Chains A and B, each alone.
Chain A
């Protein structure tokens, strides 16, 4: 149980393109999802918290107009990297919390999206 699917797994595109990444909870409802960015051999850096039916909460230093987040249903959150540039190339990972869980419950992660901007 508690499976999170992230799509696509890999994207290669030209500079200036906007890229959408989907994060789906397959067998549970998730009122809260998180989006992380990870550089090689580095830790996961939280970018934003996505709450179903409300605006996302962004971490300090993350441009909300650059990284658009939509959480329109209890099973789907999307991250759109707008006008992507080579410095946006990274490994993006989402996670989800089961609806009704408390703060000390584990997060369920997708398998990440490798984004490469040429």
Chain B
């Protein structure tokens, strides 16, 4: 069955450094992948979407890559700030293409001042 893996351990980095989060998937070839940010007690907020024919997508300090051969997406935050501290979720389209999303368990990022 479709499986999405994100590093369950929290990522702890110094302010100003680049944070890199990983999303791996198996048993599926999604046409697109999305990244969301979730703060404690809140709903996820959409950040970026990348399609299978796109290698890289950027938005301000955010960058996402999508390697369909490795079945992996990397999410980068450059010049990280304490306000970037949150849980980041990757999501893939559902296998039945009914607009569903399948979410990874998320990686918690902590940016130290």
Contacts and interface: CB of A to CB of B under 8 A. Distances in A.
Contacts of A114: 41
A73 B30 CA distance: 31
A44 B36 CA distance: 12
Interface in B82-103: 89, 93, 97-103
Given A104-B31, A104-B32, A104-B93, A46 B42 contact: no
Interface string B17-58: 000000000000001101010000111111001010000000
B46 A106 contact: yes
Contact of B49 (A43, A46, A106, A109): A106
A116 interface: no
A83 B17 CA distance: 50
A106 B46 CA distance: 6
A32 B100 CA distance: 10
Interface residues of B, number: 25
B42 A112 contact: yes
B43 A111 contact: yes
A103 interface: yes
Contacts of A6: 43
A95 interface: yes
Contacts of B51: 104
Nearest to A102: B99
Contacts of A44: 44, 89, 103
Interface in A1-58: 4, 6, 32, 34, 41-44, 46, 49, 57
The 5 closest A-B pairs by CB, nearest first: A109-B43, A106-B46, A43-B105, A104-B32, A44-B103
Interface of B: 8, 31-32, 34, 36, 41-46, 49, 51, 89, 93, 97-106
18 contacts: A6-B43, A42-B105, A43-B106, A44-B103, A91-B41, A93-B44, A95-B43, A95-B44, A97-B99, A104-B32, A104-B49, A104-B51, A107-B101, A108-B46, A109-B44, A110-B43, A111-B41, A112-B42
